[in-house]
Structure formats: C-alpha cells, structure tokens
Chain A
C-alpha cells in the first residue's frame, strides 16, 4: 500500500459525459501528479500540482482539468468523454523534495 488513495477504482460512462476522479496523497506529501495509461499511448504524464498550484503540465487535453484543494487532495475532471479516453488514470504524490513518487492503484475509466 503506497498510501495514495484513488476513487473510484472503476467507472463506466457514456461518450459525451463528464467524470471526476479523486486522489488523496500520502500524508504530508505536497505534490500530486496525474498520469494516464492506455494501450495506445502507454503511460503519459498529464499534470502536476504542488501545494495547490499547478507546477508542470504534460500531454493533458483541453477537455481535461485538474485542481488541488487546500487539504491537498486532488481531482481530475474529464469532460466530453470520447471512446479513446478509456484508460487507467494514476495519481501519484511525493514529498516537497520530490525524492520518490508514490503511485496509487489507479482509476479504471471505460467510456462506452
């Protein structure tokens, strides 16, 4: 158990819909990262937040957005969903020094 908690574990939704994935980082970790794992694209970095502020941005689509709240949990919002958005979405967290990134078990999103 990495200490990073993601909900829901599985989600099935229809095209065009919007979903929110939630992540609670390890206790004391200020950085939160979101990654997408799909068969087509492999593992891709989406976005990083540090103590509530966006720190780095990767291959995140404009239909996707994220935020980190004062209690440090983070949410990834996916809208206007397409079939190709079906993937495993990982959240990860690290300490302020960022020495090691710890991954959650992921949220499986299936778009039908």
Chain B
C-alpha cells in the first residue's frame, strides 16, 4: 500500500530563510507525488507534482521539490521564505498521474517570523 510520511508537524523559519519540508514515500509501484498547500479557511491548492518527467519539479510561488528514488523522498524547498508562505503543507501520493484517490501525509504547518 502507498503511504507518505511528513517529518515534522511544525516548522518555523525566519523571513528570508530557506524552507525545507520533508516527505518520504512508500510505494510498491512508481509513485506520483504531489505537494498541496492549505491556507487558513481555504481549500487545498496544488503546489507541484512529480509524474516521472523530471526529478526536479518547479511549482508555484517559488517552491520546488526533488524526487530522490534512492532516498524515497520528495522534499519541498523554497530558497527564501515570505510571510505569506505561512500555511499547512501536505505531501500526497497517488497510483496514477491524474492524482486521483490521493493519499495524504499528516501535514506540516509552516510558520514564518519577521
């Protein structure tokens, strides 16, 4: 069965600092991996997705993630945090490229301080 584990339920960074949110996956088949962001009182928004075309995936708002098969990881990074990045971030895996029946991690809350 597929699953994802997000390390750290809460990450705090200063404005301008590097953002690193960790996600490890478990899958018996080539996975399709996704990062979603949820701002307070809003739905989930797709940040980026890995569908085997390229291991380094660039998403919206300056975020990117790198698929590392040897480490079964898909960590999310952003070089310089902005106050508006404060939100909850979810890593998810799907058995298909369309991302149906997504299996989500527990989520990581990102706090950004000035």
Q: A residues within 8 Å of B by Cβ? A: 2, 4, 31, 33, 35, 42-45, 48, 55-56, 58, 90, 92, 94, 97-106
CB-nearest residue of chain A to B41: A105
Residue count of chain B within 8 Å CB distance of chain A: 22
Secondary structure at chain A's binding surface: helix, strand, loop or mixed? strand
Is B63 interfacial (CB-CB < 8 Å)?
no
Residues of chain B from 59 to 114 with CB closer than 8 A to chain A in the complex: 90, 92, 96-107
B98 and A55 contacting across the interface, CB-CB below 8 Å:
no
B101 and A48 contacting across the interface, CB-CB below 8 Å:
yes
A106 and B43 contacting across the interface, CB-CB below 8 Å:
yes
CB distance from B51 to the nearest CB of A (A): 9
Instruction: Give the chain B neighbours of A98 by CB distance below 8 A.
Output: 96-100
A4 to B102: give the CA distance in the assembly, Å: 18
Instruction: Give the chain A neighbours of B42 by CB distance below 8 A.
Output: 105
